[in-house]
Amino acid sequence: MRKSHLFTSESVSEGHPDKVSDQISDAVLDAFLENDVKLGIADDSLVNTRLGCEVLTTTNKIVIAGEGRGQAPLFKKYGSDAVINREQIAQIARDVVKDIGYDQDGFSFHGADIEVLLHGQSPDIAMGVDAKKKKSGEQEGAGDQGMMFGFACTESEVYEKNSFMPAPIYFAHKILKVLSDQRHSKKLFDLQPDAKSQVTIKYEDGKPIGCTKVVVSTQHNAANRNGKKYTPSMVRDLIGDAVASALPKGWMPKKDSDFLVNPTGNFVVGGPDGDCGLTGRKIIVDTYGGYAPHGGGAFSGKDPTKVDRSAAYAARYLAKNVVAAGLAERCTIQVAYAIGVADPMSLLVDTHGTGKVDDGKLEKVLAELFPLRPTNIRRTLKLNRPIYRRTAAYGHFGRAPDKDGGFSWEKTDLADQIRKAVK
């Protein structure tokens, strides 16, 4: 990448139609995993949850489809011919929509028609994924084939310690999170849930130094409390201070032409009523904003045997710990799998010329310290917990680890071991 350049990333709010779908998918997954925890089988690889949950949202309609395996009460019967508790799944979806804040004529938590089409997992897939006894111990096979990427860099550290994220996507997320918090608190009471942001950041000598453009499209009420119809300039005045508070001091563009708000001129009809939503359609928003590679698979609605999700988390964990160890300023990790096979097909470490040790040596050390088999990933990062709905908006990476184990892949607890091992 050139030393001096512009780079743009976008984010979407929790009320964006695709993110509504992602959150419902992950809320269903959390319910399955919470049930496993209650039954004491969360770490038993022979009987724990399997789920691939896909959601479509449109005008007052939610369709929940996919396949899975689990225990009562979510499954009325256990096994590949399981019957889903459709009423409970539908209520989970309604609760998510209510939490987001949708109670509009075209999309409402109480008015939407919900169709649940989940069914039992294919026995052919289960046969390849279920754990088998091997020399290395009980190991699950990868839930699918594919390649996954993890990335970390130091450029945002001066603004947010331990984020290790590219600045454009970090601040695109932060703008929308601030707007969301102020909407929920009623400070910005005229905003509605659907929103998008876009941030263009200027780099000099490889370092982010400021924003040249900020774009925010946010759904709003048709008129304010005085009955005056909202215009883009009125919405800009409404949200300007909140947007500026999300950026480092001096970064907020001063010209109206560089801070674009609702460029179409109006954004009253939004959410799933304005645009159909689907699970897994915002994978670049979920990861690094286009700054680093992304594998072929989405995350939401997938249990941790599915390496699309768990191995991407593991790759981020390793990349972040390499950078946190001071061994590189930037690190990309790729890992690849075959369905039903525990050991990865390949592992690549690329420090983009910023590494203090040979990339090949890092590959060897990381594989020894953290075997990238699905069972080890799931158990070491403690992924069989109901921690996923919170990941489904504002990015899966760059977030602080939670006390209950959420965002465990954001910990830097392996950094010292990596540093010692390469020496």
Alpha-carbon distances, residue 279 vs 67, 209, 393 (angstroms): 14, 35, 12
Domain termination site, one of 208, 243, 269: 269
Kindly state whether residue 367 falls inside one of the protein's structural domains. Answer: yes
Q: Give yes or no for a contact between 188 and 252, defined as CB atoms under 8 angstroms apart.
A: no
The pLDDT of residue 123 is above 90: no
**Burial of 247 from C-beta contacts in 10 A (0-12 / 13-18 / 19+):** buried
Kindly state whether residue 285 falls inside one of the protein's structural domains. Answer: no
Q: What is the average per-residue pLDDT within 134-143?
A: 66
Kindly state whether residue 406 falls inside one of the protein's structural domains. Answer: yes
Domain that holds residue 193: 5-12+166-269
Q: Give yes or no for a contact between 392 and 22, defined as CB atoms under 8 angstroms apart.
A: yes
Provide the pLDDT for residue 160. 85
Say which residues have a Cβ less than 8 Å from residue 235's Cβ, sequence separation at least 6: 218, 220, 261, 262, 267
Kindly state whether residue 137 falls inside one of the protein's structural domains. Answer: no
Average pLDDT, the chain: 92
Kindly state whether residue 36 falls inside one of the protein's structural domains. Answer: yes
Judgement on whether residues 180 and 120 belong to the same structural domain of the protein: no
Judgement on whether residues 34 and 97 belong to the same structural domain of the protein: yes
Q: What is the distance, to the nearest Å, from the Cα of residue 158 to the centroid of all Cα atoms in its chain?
A: 23
Judgement on whether residues 372 and 314 belong to the same structural domain of the protein: yes
- Record the pTM: 0.94
Q: What is the average per-residue pLDDT within 18-36?
A: 96
**Burial of 15 from C-beta contacts in 10 A (0-12 / 13-18 / 19+):** buried
Say which residues have a Cβ less than 8 Å from residue 269's Cβ, sequence separation at least 6: 106
The pLDDT of residue 230 is above 90: yes
pLDDT per position as a tens digit, 85-119? 899 999 999 999 999 999 999 999 999 999 999 98
Number of structural domains the chain divides into: 3
What is the C-alpha separation between 276 and 262, in angstroms, rounded? 19
Structure token digits, residue 339: 């369905």
Residue 348 DSSP code:
E
Domain termination site, one of 211, 242, 269: 269
Count CB neighbours of 204 within 10 A: 11
CATH code assigned at 66: 3.30.300.10
DSSP string over 365-387: HHHHHS---HHHHHHHTT-SSS-
pLDDT per position as a tens digit, 341-376? 999 999 999 999 999 999 999 999 999 999 999 999
The pLDDT of residue 143 is above 90: no
Kindly state whether residue 141 falls inside one of the protein's structural domains. Answer: no
Strand 346-350 relative to strand 330-337, pairing: antiparallel
Cis previous bond, 73, omega within 30:
yes
Single-letter amino acid code for the residue at 113: D
